[in-house]
A and B are shown apart, each in its own frame.
Chain A
């Protein structure tokens, strides 16, 4: 066997790798968007499953950029120019904005902790996330659990608008700057609900 024939498999492998490179590049771009991670789309996913009935599902996949651009064009009722009025929401006398402002400016820690035989409730701020954890055991063998994890930057952005309004567009913009994260998870005896953020355009 000559040197040339000995190098043939390696050359063939190299040639195959070169030949396949554009194909893999193409397959990454079939969604019509850039494959550059820095420019990747951010998708908000909502999934509702019923464990008892595999046939009942809700799957919603929304590109944050699309929501950011479309929301300001909707001017109906409380939603105006990407901001939603919350002035008439009954908070039983609680100044929601002042409360969130207090949470925002405070250091990491637990704000509410309730533990009894029926439920566990925990509201905290930790590593720049606003966390809510609720476990309800009121009904025997029917435990329900709620986990909420919202980046504080998103909370800040939501309340960056005028008094008594939530700036949804600013919130979405802040959300799109976040990494992959699970925002809401609810599990009870009937349904599981998940809301999360990633760069995939499918929820599975």
Chain B
């Protein structure tokens, strides 16, 4: 009986931790290159802001300085994009074998690039983009 209660407690904790970790969705980057390189990065969105807190301060400051001119734009863009959770903004097809698409779906920004020798698909929750912009802004005072 004790063992069952323990298992139930551990199971419930894992489920709750999973729900919390994935409640913001998943940030996904997939890249398939014709030279055989395949990159798959799937990160729970909730982890990203936490991870930014443990990045060494000088690295964050350097990154913030690099993107500093674009931080107001990033902040404004993410804030506005959140009003359009399901929309297609750009769709370019060229000759049937090249396709670029920028859209939002269920609150995620999707960027899909398909070329004969390369396929890149990025999905990033808009809330994460906003958090990243805020975090970078905190490390680049005066923006």
Interface residues of A (CB under 8 A from B): 30-33, 41, 53, 55-63, 65-66, 69-70, 72-76, 201-202
Contacts and interface: CB of A to CB of B under 8 A. Distances in A.
A126 B85 CA distance: 39
B86 interface: yes
Interface of B: 69, 72-73, 75-77, 79-81, 83-96
Given A61-B89, A62-B89, A73 B73 contact: yes
B90 A59 contact: yes
Contacts of B84: 31-33, 41, 63, 66, 201
A171 B94 CA distance: 31
Given A53-B95, A55-B95, A74-B73, A31 B86 contact: yes
Contacts of B91: 57-60
A75 B93 contact: no
A63 B85 CA distance: 12
Given A66-B84, A69-B79, 8 more contacts: A31-B86, A33-B84, A55-B95, A58-B93, A60-B89, A69-B80, A73-B73, A201-B88
Contacts of A202: 88
Contacts of B89: 60-62
Nearest to A55: B96
Contacts of B85: 31-32
B133 to A, nearest CB: 11
A33 B83 contact: yes
Contacts of A73: 72-73, 75-77
Contact of B93 (A31, A57, A60, A76): A57
A34 to B, nearest CB: 11
Contacts of A61: 87-90
